[in-house]
Structure 1
Amino acid sequence: MYESSWARALMTCGLLWFMLAIAFAPSNKLFQQGLVLFVWVPVLVVAWSGRLRLAELWQGQRVLCLSLIALAVWALISMSWSHSQLHVVKPLAYIALFLMMFPLLANGRPEHIVRLLQWGGLGLALSALVAIVRFYIVEGHDWAERLEGLGQLSHPILGAYVIGVAAIWMLHWTPQKGGMQALWLVALGLLGLFVVLTQSRSAALALLLTVLAMPLWRRDRRTVAIASLALIAAGAIFWLMEPLMLARGSSYRPELLMSSLHVIAANPWLGFGHGVSYHITALGIDFDHSHNLFTSVAIIYGLPGLFFWCVSWFSVIYAGWLARATLLGQGVIGIWVFSTLAMQFDAASLLDSPRAEWFITWLPIGIATLLSMKKACSDACDKILCFP
């Protein structure tokens, strides 16, 4: 049943909806409803028929699967002391169905997912263009103001994270056809410009460091040239925007880190529990979260939860590194590096409903599940480069 045309069509729409509706959907409610229709329902219906594909994932990446299951079980156990309402369990099911979608939709052909990501990258580049025109030209904001994206990308930092990770996968998976290469180059320029105009230093730094590190897993002249050009461009941008970049100082990040460590030390093993909101105080100012995903996980789920999450997350880079000879493995490494750097500065949502943070948490893990298809990864190397 999972191979039927209607199931594949719905799940294809689901992945595209996840990538594009985050920007273009007029409301978060519509974004969530679209995911229910295109992802949760079809995956739930066809999961049993695709059990062999899921078993392939289990056999190929057992550490990832076990650690994710352990994290979910620990989150459920933590509800015994968080006293949260039952509705907070739904995001756990949503995450499971979202991750199951990737091997079911790929069906042994990971290049299909990569092509959808390529089209999603073009769509996000279009959203970047529309956001730039709307913010600076239509609304008349000064060019020194921080750009706000469309829809749920209106937050300058989270919007820059989503657009930045799209730039990374577009860098790794480029088309071979001349016309598509020109379109890809324009899209890449728009994605990079969006990150710069948001003035999100963390996203820009994560993007720059990832591009500079790319020659470690893609040892070719083209990648070295891209890294060199990125370094030159970063120097020029910093020279032009130095006052804006330095005006906000450290944005309380060191103080937030120290305050978060004190909160963790006060309750290291249990944490606050799943579904609990918390505040962090730094220099007398209250913040909604710790602005660091790893400390946020430790605060909510304690050190056991942090351990399970770290095992899950670092198993992704391990699997990617083992497959670094393939284009899919290289892309997973790049996305993981960018996401890991981005997590250090603002992401704080993990086991929550779909939102912008999913692009640097669950989307990388979903893509990494395709690495369990070892033969398919090798056979798809050439196909991955081409748009349909």
Structure 2
Amino acid sequence: MQEKRWAQVWMTIGLLWFLLAIAVAPTNKIYQQGLVALLWVPAILFSWSSRARLRELFYEQRWVYLPMLGLLVWSLISLAWTNAPDAGREAKRLLYIVVFLLFFPVFANGRPDRVIRIMQWGGIGLAVTALVAIVKFYGVNGNVWSARLEGLGELSHPILGGYVIGLAAVWLAFWPPNTGRVQVVWGIALCLLCVFVLLSQSRGAVLALLLTILAMPVWCRDRRSRIIATVALGVAVLALMFFESLVVARGVSYRPQILVASLQMIAEHPWTGLGLGGDYKVFASDLYFDHAHNLFTHVAIELGLPGLLLWCAVWLAVLSRAWKSRDTHYGKGIIGVWLFSTLAMQFDAASLSGTPRAEWFITWLPVGLASLLVWARANSDACDKISRST
């Protein structure tokens, strides 16, 4: 049923909505309502007809989904002691995560090339929003070039916008089309995405993007990856030479102090944590911060060490599966997405169970994309020839 043309169009629009509406939807509520109608509903509706694929997925990637199941169960148990005002809403958010992860194998139906195609167009679409944001911020609004660029929609925060746009640059870099005309569009889009990240002055996003591109030849081992890494290194050196004052102006932004204070909070509730959705503030250097600015310490504060270990097991299992498929076009991209996300998590991301938002791009999107690694090797030829149908 999921292979019907109307079903594929429905789910294609759903994935594009997730990727693009984060920057164009007028409110987060509309963004989430669109996800319910365009992504959640078809994932549930077509899951029964995809049951054979799902059984294959759960068996082949059991070391991803067993700790994932443990994490979900532990999160539900932690609602017994959480200080969240609405425990039912926190449980509903877990359901959103499950359905989101279910969507990818249902939509792809064993064809990772199908998802690569949509990710390519999604990356180009985000590049368009990046260009509009640059023109609006510096041209229309008249901000000086030293001001931190803000994106559109839910990407108006320089840090979160930098992470989403940076991740788009990563998947475009690893999944380029081969068709001549589209390659020109791809190259322009990739440049726009990188320029946006630099202008956002989000040092975490810049560092994550730079290190991911520099590490690209480690598992890609081709001439193109070496050229991209060399160009990235040259751009980074030039940017540091010309914008050193902007890079060092904000110091370390209290990150070491926040880390120490977060570790102290973890030590107060090492086994239970505060509970899923627990409200907390980090007190460091006589200031209060809304979250831990690090995904791993955030998980430990909310879910304790058991939750942290389960999340780490899921995350490392994703890398393990991707590394085994590093000789495939799809596997190379997943490693890049995983590395960028891991680096990004260290500096600002602090939301694992929240409603769909920018943070999902570096937490649940990599896990969802990694589910298709089961079929990546069998479809490696199709993935390598994706541009012919792009």
TM range (shorter): over 0.9
Q: Assess if the C-alpha contact under 8 Å between 2:67 and 2:311 holds in 1.
A: yes
42-51 vs 10-19, greater mean Cα deviation: 42-51
The aligned residue for residue 145 of structure 1 is 147
The aligned residue for residue 71 of structure 1 is 71
2:6 pairs with 1:6: yes
Report how many aligned residue pairs link the two structures: 388
**Secondary structure in 2 matching 1:286:** strand
Q: Assess if the C-alpha contact under 8 Å between 1:328 and 1:377 holds in 2.
A: no
Distance in 1 of aligned mates of 2:376 and 2:219: 18
Letter in 2 for 1:292: N
**Secondary structure in 2 matching 1:381:** helix
Distance in 1 of aligned mates of 2:184 and 2:380: 27
What is the CA-CA distance between 1:384 and the residue it aligns to?
A: 3.2
Q: Assess if the C-alpha contact under 8 Å between 2:22 and 2:153 holds in 1.
A: yes
Query: 5+ unaligned residues in a row in structure 1: which ranges?
Result: none
What is the CA-CA distance between 1:53 and the residue it aligns to?
A: 1.1
The aligned residue for residue 115 of structure 2 is 113
Calculate the TM-score normalised by the size of structure 2: 0.98
Q: Which runs of 4+ in 1 moved over 3 A?
A: 374-377, 384-387
CA 1:321–1:310: 2 relative to 1, 3 Å: same
> Which whole-Å deviations, capped at 9, do the CAs of 1:245-274 have from their partners, x for residues lacking one?
110000000000000000001110000001
Distance in 1 of aligned mates of 2:385 and 2:367: 22
What is the CA-CA distance between 1:386 and the residue it aligns to?
A: 4.3
The aligned residue for residue 225 of structure 1 is 227
2:32 pairs with 1:24: no
RMSD over aligned Cα atoms: 1.1
**Secondary structure in 2 matching 1:82:** coil
Letter in 2 for 1:179: R
The aligned residue for residue 265 of structure 2 is 263
The aligned residue for residue 197 of structure 2 is 195
Distance in 2 of aligned mates of 1:121 and 1:170: 6
Distance in 2 of aligned mates of 1:386 and 1:72: 40
Query: 5+ unaligned residues in a row in structure 2: which ranges?
Result: none
What is the CA-CA distance between 1:24 and the residue it aligns to?
A: 0.7
The aligned residue for residue 249 of structure 1 is 251
Q: Assess if the C-alpha contact under 8 Å between 1:327 and 1:384 holds in 2.
A: no
The aligned residue for residue 125 of structure 2 is 123
The aligned residue for residue 61 of structure 1 is 61
Letter in 2 for 1:59: Y
> Which whole-Å deviations, capped at 9, do the CAs of 1:65-89 have from their partners, x for residues lacking one?
1111111110000001115421111
**Secondary structure in 2 matching 1:80:** coil
Distance in 2 of aligned mates of 1:199 and 1:220: 31
Calculate the TM-score normalised by the size of structure 1: 0.98
Distance in 1 of aligned mates of 2:100 and 2:379: 21
Please give the residue correspondences for 1:204-353 in structure 2 after superposition, counting only pairs within 5 Å: 204-353=206-355
What is the CA-CA distance between 1:385 and the residue it aligns to?
A: 4.2
Q: Assess if the C-alpha contact under 8 Å between 1:125 and 1:188 holds in 2.
A: yes
Please give the residue correspondences for 1:33-182 in structure 2 after superposition, counting only pairs within 5 Å: 33-82=33-82, 84=84, 85=86, 86-182=88-184
Letter in 2 for 1:16: L
Distance in 2 of aligned mates of 1:83 and 1:245: 38
**Secondary structure in 2 matching 1:380:** helix
Distance in 1 of aligned mates of 2:303 and 2:228: 40
Q: Assess if the C-alpha contact under 8 Å between 1:110 and 1:376 holds in 2.
A: no
Q: Assess if the C-alpha contact under 8 Å between 2:83 and 2:274 holds in 1.
A: no
